[in-house]
Amino acid sequence: MKEKTYLISAVASKYNIHPQTLRLYEREGLLLPSRSKGNTRYYTDEDLKKLEFILNLSRDMGVNLAGIEIIYDLKMKMEKMQEEFAKFLEELRKEFFSGKENLFDQKTKALVKFSSSQVAVFKDGESKR
């Protein structure tokens, strides 16, 4: 099945931005639409998701293009790390908890996120808050 694509004019209209803005995002390397043999830009649904991310950062949060690039790169690295961690947990489960899946589930659910608004600083045997 062929992937659904959109022309630059349709994307610009849908997101209420000028086509030149899309071209700027392309020049900056933030968006990389595919091209036809006639050099027409075609945006995929994945491109539109990325555009929504870009527009959210720029319109709603006031982030400049350099900041958007850094944030997007960090987002992609975090997603890759999450995938790798999930694979690691799956391998761990297979290796050490084969036949004991309930125990593995209990152990993974026992992991608790920790967040403290108070930080204790220990210096020379005394505690400061």
Name beta bridge partners: 5: 44
pLDDT at 121: 55
How far is it, in rounded angstroms, from Cα 61 to Cα 29?
Answer: 20
Span 5-63: which CATH code?
Answer: 1.10.1660.10
76 — pLDDT class (breaks 50, 70, 90): very high
The residue ranking higher by pLDDT, 129 or 88, is 88
Where along the chain do its domains lie?
A: 5-63
Name beta bridge partners: 36: none
- The answer on pLDDT for 122 being more than 70 is no
pLDDT at 111: 62
Amino acid found at 78: M
CB burial readout 34-49, b (16+ within 10 A) else e: eeeeeeebbbeeebbe
